[in-house]
């Protein structure tokens, strides 16, 4: 289906409006991670966790807007920084959610260990932390209780699971999506070689990205056309990527690179590098253990996430960068809460007005078009690779709720059409009854 794509006609963005930067204040360029001033904002979700989000050891920051449907539990090791920042990272893209908007939304309990602090502010930048169930520990600014905090986002979990499977298996029967390129492990690096022409470059990865001894590797991409999306389908029930990966030489590839784990229940991401591209883990039963120095892209999992560190390292960060690629088309998505429609009786069809069934787009999850307002970002990539983990000044900062947009025009037109249909049916019924009386 995608082996010889020449256009994006059979390609789609991520479901639910996820992926691109949203809002009127998106940057026109996406610099590599740094600690410059905050000058732009992104309203879209950068981190989505369908299960629980755990912060352990010496992990430091989660940049951008974060939503976890389960609990958020922070319990870092003694001797490490006792702060975890959400919203604005000390080092990152420096594109947080807008001030005063939601930086962290928790569907379960929000727990911060004694003596530790969860921060959603940095200087003049500040956000809101919401939780649906119980609160324990210190949150700055003060967290807000909202029993329905994650209600607008619950449907995203199933939609991401369906999309992840579709990207990896193109016929719905377990047959793998055909690859357009090859993957080669030469010992010190894993090389993804594209075909030089396909608009969606698809790779099938059936092994861990590590050395023979389980150590770190480099990651490179060759033969990728300008503007192409790269989809790496990582197959297997347990997978590890350990990398000292630095910046990508292809301008803009970071924002069009997706690592898709459709089946894995155990995912390990570690290393001292800056991991490039977005991550999608589709298995609801999965646990991702993230100990990389930095990730640069959206992070979406239908399962659970543990943000942690290894050994004496510290300062692990999730950086906020958009995903602007076009992924394989997966057809119409099912309704988040499908119900079987009853078969109307003749009496019902003649006497009752039909009630329009809301389409999936009514879900309050972000549903903007794939192209965000304003000029499309043009990434730049220039930061040097540092073999050790970053240790920025962690002073946290905040985020925002995506601009969900509206389909009001479609609903109005649909309602008018329904009214006309009912009126026509009523007129026909009256005519029939008049003829019977005469």
In a domain? residue 435: no
Contact 272, 387 (CB under 8 A): yes
Show the tokens assigned to 140: 């700055």
In a domain? residue 326: yes
Q: 117: which strand partners?
A: 83, 138
In a domain? residue 276: yes
pLDDT recorded at residue 331: 66
Query: For the chain, what is the domain count?
Result: 1
In a domain? residue 436: no
In a domain? residue 217: no
Domain hosting residue 115, numbered range: 11-175+236-336+344-356+390-405
Contact 102, 401 (CB under 8 A): yes
Handedness of CA 302, 307, 308, 309 (dihedral sign): positive
Chain-centroid distance, C-alpha 195: 27
Average pLDDT of each block of 10 consecutive residues along the chain (438 residues)? 37 92 95 93 98 98 98 97 95 96 98 98 95 98 98 98 95 86 96 97 97 95 97 98 93 96 98 97 98 97 98 95 95 42 36 37 40 41 36 36 38 37 39 39
pLDDT recorded at residue 394: 40
SS3 assignment for 140-164:
ECCCEECCCCCHHHHHHHHHHHHHH
Show the tokens assigned to 412: 């109005």
In a domain? residue 56: yes
Query: 10 Å Cβ neighbour count for 232?
Result: 26
Q: Cα(113)–Cα(122) distance, rounded to whole angstroms?
A: 21
Q: Cα(43)–Cα(25) distance, rounded to whole angstroms?
A: 9
Q: Cα(163)–Cα(91) distance, rounded to whole angstroms?
A: 31
pLDDT recorded at residue 4: 33
pLDDT recorded at residue 10: 54
pTM assigned to the model: 0.76
SS3 assignment for 319-361:
ECCCCCCCEECCCCCCCCCCCCCCCCCHHHHHHCCCCCCCCHH
Q: Cα(64)–Cα(47) distance, rounded to whole angstroms?
A: 7
In a domain? residue 416: no
Q: What are phi and psi of 308, to 5 degrees?
A: -150, -170
In a domain? residue 208: no
Contact 129, 96 (CB under 8 A): no
């Amino acid at each position: 289906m995608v082996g010889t794509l020449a256009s994006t006609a059979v390609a789609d963005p991520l479901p639910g409006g996820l992926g691109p930067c949203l809002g009127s204040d998106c940057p026109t360029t996406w610099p590599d991670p740094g600690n410059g001033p905050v000058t732009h904002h992104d309203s879209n979700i950068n981190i989505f966790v369908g299960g629980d989000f755990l912060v352990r050891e010496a992990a430091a920051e989660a940049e951008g807007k974060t939503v976890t449907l389960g609990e958020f539990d922070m319990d870092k090791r003694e001797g490490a920084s006792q702060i975890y920042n959400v919203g604005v990272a000390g080092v990152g893209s420096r594109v947080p959610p807008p001030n005063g908007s939601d930086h962290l939304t928790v569907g379960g309990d929000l727990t911060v260990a004694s003596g530790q602090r969860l921060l959603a502010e940095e200087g003049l930048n500040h956000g809101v932390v919401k939780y649906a169930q119980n609160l324990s520990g210190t949150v700055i600014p003060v967290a807000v209780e909202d029993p329905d905090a994650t209600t607008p986002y619950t449907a995203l979990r199933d939609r991401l699971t369906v999309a992840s499977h579709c990207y990896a298996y193109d016929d719905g029967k377990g047959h793998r999506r055909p690859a357009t390129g090859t993957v080669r492990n030469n010992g010190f690096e894993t090389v993804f070689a594209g075909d030089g022409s396909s608009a969606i470059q698809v790779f099938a990865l059936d092994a861990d990205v590590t050395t023979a001894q389980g150590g770190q590797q480099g990651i490179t991409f060759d033969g990728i056309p300008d503007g192409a999306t790269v989809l790496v389908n990582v197959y297997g029930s347990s997978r590890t990527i350990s990398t000292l990966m630095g910046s990508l030489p292809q301008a803009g590839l970071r924002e069009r690179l997706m690592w898709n784990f459709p089946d894995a229940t155990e995912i390990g991401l570690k290393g001292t590098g800056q991991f490039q591209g977005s991550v999608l883990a589709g298995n609801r039963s999965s646990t991702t253990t993230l100990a990389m120095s930095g990730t640069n892209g959206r992070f979406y999992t239908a399962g659970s996430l543990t943000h942690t560190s290894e050994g004496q390292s510290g300062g692990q960060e999730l950086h906020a960068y958009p995903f602007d690629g076009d992924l394989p088309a997966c057809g119409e998505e099912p309704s988040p809460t499908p119900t079987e429609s009853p078969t109307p009786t003749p009496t019902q069809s003649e006497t009752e007005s039909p009630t329009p069934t809301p389409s999936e787009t009514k879900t309050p999850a972000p549903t903007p078009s794939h192209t965000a307002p304003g000029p499309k970002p043009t990434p730049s990539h220039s930061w040097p690779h540092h073999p050790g983990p970053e240790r920025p000044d962690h002073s946290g900062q905040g985020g925002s709720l995506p601009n969900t947009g509206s389909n009001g025009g479609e609903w109005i037109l649909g309602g008018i059409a329904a009214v006309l249909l009912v009126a026509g049916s009523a007129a026909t019924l009256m005519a029939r009854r008049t003829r019977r009386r005469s």
